[in-house]
Structure 1
Amino acid sequence: MAKILRLLVISGALVAALLLLTSGPGTRFGLWEYGAGFLMMRIAFFVGLGAALLAVLLLVIPKTRAMGVVSLVVTLVLGFGTAYLPWSGVQKVRSLPYIHDISTDTTNPPVFVAVLPLRLDAPNPPEYPGEDVASQQREAYPDIKTLALAMPSDQVFERALAVAEGMGWKIVAREPSDGRIEATETTFWFGFKDDVVIRIAGTADGTRLDVRSKSRVGMSDVGANAERIRNFLQAWQ
């Protein structure tokens, strides 16, 4: 009985790890919908945590501990490690506002044009949600602001395009006459498509550069869009 229980605990930790490791890539490559991927992560959390707690119990009991300390310790580490990753993700989601549309200009955000056909089936509409989202963004990401530059607009456009390409974004449109660059980035784990629009506008003192990033699916972006804009602005420096 003790051997069977130990085998079940080890198997549980392995199954949990497998669920976690395949949840994202399977979604990315279209094997299942992202909802199924999230469910797999949820199951991985509970199974991994359960396996780890049972491993602790078996380590405490002398008879079962004598049957394989190393394997139980590995199970303990694997189970807790597997459970920790989705748990930490949930904590991050809870610490951030449930928004998925971030812009350096929340009063007059850049608009999407060229990516609109790509978003036809997207649950999240391309329009900016309004002041409710803007106020949450200002509180959570006060550093996301318009970039004022003492450079001619044409130079800003070329540099912005180079930075976007250097970050690996897929350029959808480049319109120097409109001062607009549109691009799409695919997230690493789940393969979510997020769209970006860069607006370059001349001012009396130089050029104003704004960036907007919006997810196609999901209520919360877990800070991904804000981080994307930050990375762009930092790369500009």
Structure 2
Amino acid sequence: MKHSGKVALVLALLGAIVVALMLFGARLGLWEPLTGFGLYRSCLNPLGLVILVAGLVALISSLIRREKGEILAAAVAALVGLACLTPLMMTTINPQPRAAPIHDITTDMVNPLSFEVLDDSRAGARNSLAYGGPEVAAVQAEAYPDIAPITTALTADDAYQRALTIAQDLGWDIVASDAERRRFEATARTSVFYFADDVVLAVTPLENGSRIDLRSVSRVGKSDQGVNAARIRAFQQQFRQ
């Protein structure tokens, strides 16, 4: 087929745009994060396979015809298709362990922080902000045994100001802050799919410093795929620097 390489390349470029919309459509306000995630899970592999096959067919055809320009276009198309299939290949070669079936992570499982401003009416929320109790705590303790409060020699006021600055640097949207009580609530979003997780942080004075507790809760999904624990770790690492 004449111009098969260019046709395959156009298909690949359109496919790349579709994949970008799956990943970032929610950020653009096109749909809810779950919609983009659902499209990604159901459509990425078939789309990648179609692009890869079209690119390979065009590549073979162009090689037979010895059309240099078409060969390059077809090769690029095939590479785009292969890139789309890379997540499937990676999980097949190196399956990742299943994440814990929880979406609420806290540094204090005995007396978890409560949300006072954010509530179950927050946009797109399907999960409650009420803590799940001992069952959730037991799963967290087994899956994320390193999650614990931060203790620091900083005064409570200094620790609170540092925590607030770090949260803003991490891109969290501060919903409410109370400097007098040294606590704030915020919403953090994932860079891909734009899922929203809600965070509450409080600083408690100690005799020789202070203690910082956090709790991070996903708005949707039974499992957070480890995102909330990773968020708390990232905050703690930056705080300790």
Residue 44 in structure 1 maps to residue 47 in structure 2: no
1:196 Cα deviation from its structure 2 partner: 0.8
SS at match of 1:28: coil
Structure having the larger proportion of residues in helix: 1
Tell me how far apart the structure 1 counterparts of residues 167 and 185 of structure 2 sit (CA, whole Å): 9
Q: Which aligned pairs between 1:114-129 and structure 2 lie closer than 5 A? A: 114-116=117-119, 119=122, 122-129=125-132
Tell me how far apart the structure 2 counterparts of residues 87 and 95 of structure 1 sit (CA, whole Å): 17
Residue 75 in structure 1 maps to residue 77 in structure 2: yes
Question: Contact 1:171 / 1:184 at 8 angstroms: preserved in 2?
Answer: yes
Amino acid aligned to 1:148 = T
SS at match of 1:161: helix
SS at match of 1:97: coil
Tell me how far apart the structure 2 counterparts of residues 209 and 96 of structure 1 sit (CA, whole Å): 26
**Scaled by the length of structure 2, what TM-score is found?**
0.80
Amino acid aligned to 1:73 = A
Tell me how far apart the structure 1 counterparts of residues 97 and 18 of structure 2 sit (CA, whole Å): 23
Unaligned runs of 5+ in 1: none
1:162 Cα deviation from its structure 2 partner: 2.2
1:150 Cα deviation from its structure 2 partner: 2.9
Q: Which aligned pairs between 1:14-29 and structure 2 lie closer than 5 A? A: 14-29=13-28
Tell me how far apart the structure 2 counterparts of residues 105 and 111 of structure 1 sit (CA, whole Å): 11
Cα gap change, 1:214 to 1:87, in 2 (>3 Å): farther
SS at match of 1:70: helix
Cα gap change, 1:186 to 1:141, in 2 (>3 Å): same
The equivalent position to 1:201 in structure 2, one of 200, 204, 223, is 204
1:54 Cα deviation from its structure 2 partner: 4.9
Q: Which moved more, 1:74-83 or 1:10-19?
A: 10-19
Question: Contact 2:186 / 2:200 at 8 angstroms: preserved in 1?
Answer: yes
Question: Contact 1:213 / 1:225 at 8 angstroms: preserved in 2?
Answer: yes
Tell me how far apart the structure 2 counterparts of residues 34 and 65 of structure 1 sit (CA, whole Å): 45
Give the match for residue 30 of structure 1.
29
Tell me how far apart the structure 1 counterparts of residues 208 and 184 of structure 2 sit (CA, whole Å): 22
| 1:141-186 alpha-carbon deviations (Å, 9 max, x no partner) | 3322111223332222222222222323222222234332111123
1:118 Cα deviation from its structure 2 partner: 5.6
Question: Contact 1:44 / 1:83 at 8 angstroms: preserved in 2?
Answer: yes
Q: Which aligned pairs between 1:37-186 and structure 2 lie closer than 5 A? A: 37-41=36-40, 42-56=42-56, 59=59, 64=64, 66-67=66-67, 68-85=70-87, 95-116=98-119, 119=122, 122-186=125-189
Q: CA RMSD in A?
A: 3.1
Question: Contact 2:22 / 2:37 at 8 angstroms: preserved in 1?
Answer: yes
Question: Contact 1:16 / 1:45 at 8 angstroms: preserved in 2?
Answer: no
Cα gap change, 1:12 to 1:131, in 2 (>3 Å): farther
Cα gap change, 1:98 to 1:17, in 2 (>3 Å): farther
Unaligned runs of 5+ in 2: none
Amino acid aligned to 2:55 = A
| 1:216-237 alpha-carbon deviations (Å, 9 max, x no partner) | 1233333322222112111111
Tell me how far apart the structure 1 counterparts of residues 65 and 223 of structure 2 sit (CA, whole Å): 44
**Scaled by the length of structure 1, what TM-score is found?**
0.82
Identity, % of aligned positions:
35
Amino acid aligned to 1:51 = I
Question: Contact 2:151 / 2:210 at 8 angstroms: preserved in 1?
Answer: yes
Tell me how far apart the structure 1 counterparts of residues 206 and 171 of structure 2 sit (CA, whole Å): 29
The equivalent position to 1:215 in structure 2, one of 210, 215, 218, is 218
Amino acid aligned to 1:44 = L
1:3 Cα deviation from its structure 2 partner: 4.4
SS at match of 1:19: helix
